[in-house]
Amino acid sequence: MELLQQLRQLQLIRPLDLQFGRFIHDEELLDNPDSDSCEQLSLLAALVSLQLGRGEVCLPLNDYGTLTENWPGALQGRAEKLLVGMSESRLLTFSVISEGRDETPLVYSNGRLYLYRYWYYETQVAGRIRTLTAPVESDNVAIQAGLKRLFNAPGAGETDWQQVAVAVALSRRFSVISGGPGTGKTTTVARLLCLYAELFSARKGCAPLIRLAAPTGKAAARLSESLGSAQQGLAITDAVRAMIPDQAVTLHRLLGPRPDSKNFRHNRENPLHLDLLVVDEASMIDLPMIFRLLDALPAHAQLVMIGDRDQLASVEAGSVLGDICAWQQQESSGELCYSPAQLDYLQQVCGLPGPPSAPGSNPVADALALLRKSYRFDEHSGIGRLARAVNRGDGEQAARLFTENWRDIDFYPLSENGYQQMVADVAKGYSTYLKLMHEGEAPGRLLQAFNQIQLLAVVRQGVYGVEGLNLAIEEKLQRQKLISVTGAWYSGRPVMITRNDYQLGLYNGDIGITVADSDGKLRVWFELPDGSMKGVLPGRLPEHETVYAMTVHKSQGSEFEKVVMILPAEESPLLTRELIYTGITRAKAMFVLHATTDALIKGSLRRTERASGLSWRLWQSAGTYEY
């Protein structure tokens, strides 16, 4: 344990990692008192725990060097000496490690070391998805007629990828529709729901039970609002329209949280009551959540996941959407290769001229659809071009775009004067909602005005981090007499919830504005998924933080008219292509970047790669999984 103590003193591992390493060390000694390898085992255990804290599902044993590369030379050398030669046969001699057949604390599988629970999640999710991607019976004639009625005919030589996505979703009990900002994901879902309701009611003689969900309250509210707008003008009957739900809920609320427990009311023994579940912002879903969602899905039901595969992965462990969308059957052009049977079906119902079929194609590929055309960001959009350049990893092209006089993007090099100007500009943007507050506007209107601008940061600490930026903007607004900060709470303070509170109905990511009542008592007002407003006394709020600035991670599932993003000057492993892309695509009308050109270029080159075996299990493994 001496090595782990040294690592903890240098804050290279967490207290939890140290304690888990000690636990595994002691467990092994109980079973094998003569073991001479407990130091190796305790280090491995601590690293597996550390990986989980970093959002990684497992520890790839051929890549542990990335965890130790920044350690002091002596400790790095000692760790490498301990871990070298840790073969599969050697690992499986330990009583605390198995291949999963026994419920041991650690599991070794395909070159990766897992905590048992996360190995179980991963194998169960892979097995469930493989089962659900088998084709279902469908009325191809009715689907073809419905698609023609709900969609405009594409232009000559064009493919309507929204039609393809709806057709794919109707052919499988599990499907994924992925697309960037403005590609019409909501429009696609609206038509999917209508056609599904028509087909279901014609087949069953009753209305289907359809539920809509998203990972956060903000994302659920956006889904409810956008779907309501997308249904306007569709050629459907009032009876069909009545079958479509108008409200989305959070995944936690859908599954039914139990107080003081990580478990939910709905599970395999008590499945959800629904026929179709549509989940938006799927990139935010972590491995434990997708396991619980699939576990609670009724045997007959269909699940459609909507999201942008290029966005940041979930905050917690796993990169589920990215792993599912690891298109292994893919041509150099980026076209999906469907199986011959699926291609025949798509050609029949929506006239898909391609892509080429792939004999023996993985069934998961037949459940995937990619929306390619952006209706929000056209060739005249700097935001669209910038997002595409970053997504390609072309940071140099992204930097050049800022010099081409696009109206909707702007760039400022990092400097002291530039920093102060940024604070002043953001404070000016927030002054709109504060002036409305002083005029007595309703809380709902204040939240709308607040969302017109948002400052995004990569890190939490430091002058370029969320904490420093929130303080700087607060001081600026105080000097302008737009707020009066006399304590922790004041009228106008914006806050973000950081921990779910099921009793209050407030969830991680929800944003509220503090407003004084007529009697001077402060309440924090939040917009609920159904559009209603909820006022809560500050003392009753769950964990929260001021949110003039937020991290890019926290901005997922939200959109703002204007986004200002600042990248740190120093090198940071957090600065990745997916993070920059996510920040850019939060902007609807204007994006402003404060950074060094070097940070933009290097960040665009660095990809987020999370250790996980889910992609391998879905796309390469020929194994079968019990569920």
Query: pLDDT (tens digit, 9 = 90+) per residue, 525-551?
Result: 988 766 788 888 988 988 899 999 999
pLDDT tens, residue by residue, 399-411: 888 888 888 889 9
Higher pLDDT, 273 or 357: 273
Examine the pLDDT at 359 and tell me if it is beyond 60: no
Examine the pLDDT at 349 and tell me if it is beyond 70: yes
Alpha-carbon separation of residue 142 from 152, 192, 349, 428 (angstroms): 17, 13, 9, 55
Q: Contact at 8 Å (CB) between 586 and 558?
A: yes
Mean pLDDT of 180-197: 87
- Counting residues of the chain whose pLDDT is more than 70, the rounded percentage is 92
Alpha helices in 205-271, H assignment, sequence order: 217-230, 238-243, 251-255
Examine the pLDDT at 416 and tell me if it is beyond 90: no
Q: How far apart are the first and last CA of the chain?
A: 39
Task: Using the structure block, give the residue that is written with the tokens 């200002």.
Answer: 564
Residue of 623, 624, 621, 612 lying closest to 290 (CA atoms): 612
The token pair that represents 46 in the structure block: 């601590």
Q: Contact at 8 Å (CB) between 318 and 614?
A: yes
Give per-residue burial for 399-425: e unless 16+ CB within 10 Å, then b.
bebbeeebebbebbebeeeebeebbeb
The token pair that represents 561 in the structure block: 């008219």
SS3 59: strand
Which of the 8 DSSP states describes residue 71? S
Q: Which residues contact 308 (CB under 8 A, 6 or more apart)?
A: 178, 179, 180, 181, 283, 585
Examine the pLDDT at 576 and tell me if it is beyond 80: yes
Mean pLDDT of 139-159: 82
Amino acid making up residue 436: L
Task: Using the structure block, give the residue that is written with the tokens 């207290």.
Answer: 15
The token pair that represents 539 in the structure block: 């003392």
Burial class from Cβ neighbours inside 10 Å (0-12, 13-18, 19+) for residue 228 reads middle
Alpha-carbon distance 587 to 318, whole Å? 26
SS3 522: strand
Higher pLDDT, 235 or 187: 187
Examine the pLDDT at 331 and tell me if it is beyond 50: no
Task: Using the structure block, give the residue that is written with the tokens 């996941």.
Answer: 305
Alpha helices in 271-415, H assignment, sequence order: 287-295, 320-324, 340-350, 382-391, 395-401
Which of the 8 DSSP states describes residue 406? -
Distance of CA 508 to the CA centre of its chain: 13
Alpha-carbon distance 348 to 90, whole Å? 55
Examine the pLDDT at 82 and tell me if it is beyond 80: no
The pLDDT assigned to 42 comes to 86
Q: Contact at 8 Å (CB) between 590 and 561?
A: yes
Residue of 393, 400, 418 lying closest to 567 (CA atoms): 418
pLDDT tens, residue by residue, 249-279: 888 889 988 877 778 899 899 999 999 999 9
Which of the 8 DSSP states describes residue 94? S
Q: Lowest mean pLDDT of 67-71, 133-137, 474-478, name the range.
A: 67-71
The pLDDT assigned to 597 comes to 86
Q: Contact at 8 Å (CB) between 460 and 574?
A: no
CA dihedral 189, 193, 199, 205 (to 10 degrees): 170
Q: Contact at 8 Å (CB) between 346 and 168?
A: yes
pLDDT tens, residue by residue, 587-621: 888 999 998 888 888 888 877 777 888 888 887 76
Give per-residue burial for 265-282: e unless 16+ CB within 10 Å, then b.
ebeeeeebebbbbbbbbb
332 — pLDDT class (breaks 50, 70, 90): very low
Q: Lowest mean pLDDT of 116-125, 136-145, 614-623, name the range.
A: 614-623
- What percent of the residues of the chain are helix, what percent strand, and what percent coil, each to the nearest 5? 45, 15, 40
Give per-residue burial for 147-161: e unless 16+ CB within 10 Å, then b.
beebbeeeeeeebbb
483 — pLDDT class (breaks 50, 70, 90): confident
Examine the pLDDT at 482 and tell me if it is beyond 50: yes
Alpha-carbon distance 467 to 460, whole Å? 6
Task: Strands of 379-532 (E only): list them.
Answer: 409-413, 453-457, 494-497, 511-516, 522-527
Residue of 273, 278, 272 lying closest to 247 (CA atoms): 278
Mean pLDDT of 29-46: 76
Examine the pLDDT at 295 and tell me if it is beyond 90: yes
Mean pLDDT of 48-55: 87
Question: What does the radius of gyration of the chain's CA atoms come to, in whole angstroms?
Answer: 26
Give phi and psi for 371, each to the nearest 5.
-85, 130
The pLDDT assigned to 358 comes to 59
Mean pLDDT of 106-123: 91
Parallel, antiparallel or unpaired: strands 511-516 and 494-497: antiparallel
pLDDT tens, residue by residue, 451-469: 889 999 988 888 888 899 9
Q: Lowest mean pLDDT of 105-114, 283-292, 500-509, name the range.
A: 500-509
Task: Strands of 503-620 (E only): list them.
Answer: 511-516, 522-527, 533-536, 544-546, 549-551, 560-566, 587-595
Mean pLDDT of 487-503: 86
333 — pLDDT class (breaks 50, 70, 90): very low
The strand order across the sheet containing 522-527 reads 533-536, 522-527, 511-516, 494-497, 544-546
16 — pLDDT class (breaks 50, 70, 90): very high
